[in-house]
Amino acid sequence: MKKRYTRRMTFNERAFVAFNLICPPTVNQFIFDGEGTLDPERWRKAAEVASEANPGTRLILKGHLGWSRWVDSGISPPVREVDGSNWNGMGPESAPWFQEPLSYREGPTCEIVLIQGPIPRVMFRAHHGVCDGRGTLFWAEEVFRVLRGETVIGSNSNMTDVEMCRSFQNQLRTPFPTEHIAPTGRPKGNESGVTWRRRSIKRKIPNLLARCARLAAEEAWRYGEGVVRFGIPVDMRPRKPGLFSTANLSFALYIEVNKKTTPDEIVRDITRQISQGDEGRLSRGDERLEYMPLWLMQHKIKKIILNRHERGIYSLSGILSNLGRVDLNRFSGAGFTARAFWIIPPATEYYPFFLVMAGYEGGSELTLSMPKVLASEGRIEDILQRMARGLERAE
């Protein structure tokens, strides 16, 4: 008899759940723009087969505090259709399905949304408490394998992010002081929540993440002097060759950008940190968060967010996440052919700036999310436009 998939909920995943309770949805949302047809029944059957091989996509939370565990519900991620005929795919307007919650207790924690319209789109949604970006992408690949009649790879591990960190790193991280300025200046207004915007660039951009880091830092300095530092999620799966998992197996490393820092220097800094295993460094006391009630964690995070907005100073200038270049041929099947791939960042007010990047043959995608008080007065549109222009000039 096959053993039921389960894994311990880590402090990192607990934080994602708390973020989601404060400012939903803290969900990975991966979208494939394409052409062709979307047959709901074929997608439901494919989702069922893929989830059986990857039970990390059908988890619910059991237990409380440090005894909390993600457990396989046995119920496949649902597939639903929505009308996207009035949505342009560049922002949240006319697309209420992006705000739909995913229940971490009752499920589902993952789902597939077929967006019918002039441009057919497929969206894979995964609660960040159960999947990271690379895990969500692996799940999407598995579903498309089924749609093409291929054999799925399947997950072969229930390792947690903390276990992964400890497998290659025993040094602790010293927390940075809360001293960082935001790329769009100080908050204006009092509207809660986040918003996002997307920008497509019809070319490959070399060193995309490093160039974005430099451009975002320049934006921050438009508003004043200050320290600029970004967190960069790093997929740790390569530390365990042959491991396949949809779980949260990414941790961040951090880069500081000063006035003289070049994109090439940023690339070298990231390479050096990964060679040292810096992404695996935990901070002292991290795991005590596993025993903090979610209501108390929410309360503390809300106070931190309000305090940082009042001061205009943050724990980081933002998060930069690059999913890399994907082969769109892997994301076609059952009458649908992908032509573009992009990601909406998980919603959170905890960070002042959250940029996700992706690339494919002939194109690069930027999607920027930020608190509404930092996006107001057209700032989110302006910064994304200036950054895109800077990238288009890159050689």
Query: Does residue 279 surpass a pLDDT of 70?
Result: yes
Token match 């996440």: residue?
A: 321
Residue 288, domain member (yes or no): yes
pLDDT at 132: 98
pLDDT at 318: 98
**What is this structure's pTM?**
0.96
Query: Does residue 189 surpass a pLDDT of 60?
Result: yes
User: What number is the average pLDDT over the span 344-357?
Assistant: 98
Query: Does residue 8 surpass a pLDDT of 60?
Result: yes
- Give residue 354's domain range: 6-392
Instruction: Give, rounded to a whole angstrom, the gap between the first and last alpha carbons of the chain.
Output: 56
| Domain count along the chain | 1
Q: What is the pLDDT of residues 91-112, one digit of tens each?
A: 999 999 999 999 999 999 999 9
| Cβ atoms within 10 Å, residue 95 | 17
Confidence tier at 42 by pLDDT (50, 70, 90): very high
Nearest to 364 by CA among 383, 387, 386, 341: 341
Residue of higher predicted confidence among 394 and 244: 244
Residue 1, domain member (yes or no): no
> Across the chain, which distance is largest between two alpha carbons, in Å?
62
Q: What is the pLDDT of residues 130-172, one digit of tens each?
A: 999 999 999 999 999 999 999 999 999 999 999 999 999 999 9
Residue 257, domain member (yes or no): yes
Q: Where are the alpha helices (DSSP H) in 178-244?
A: 208-221
Give the Cα separation of 144 and 327 in Å (integer): 12
Residue 108, domain member (yes or no): yes
Do the beta carbons of residue 222 and residue 237 sit within 8 Å? no
Q: What is the pLDDT of residues 307-343, one digit of tens each?
A: 999 999 999 999 999 999 999 999 999 999 999 999 9
Residue 58, domain member (yes or no): yes
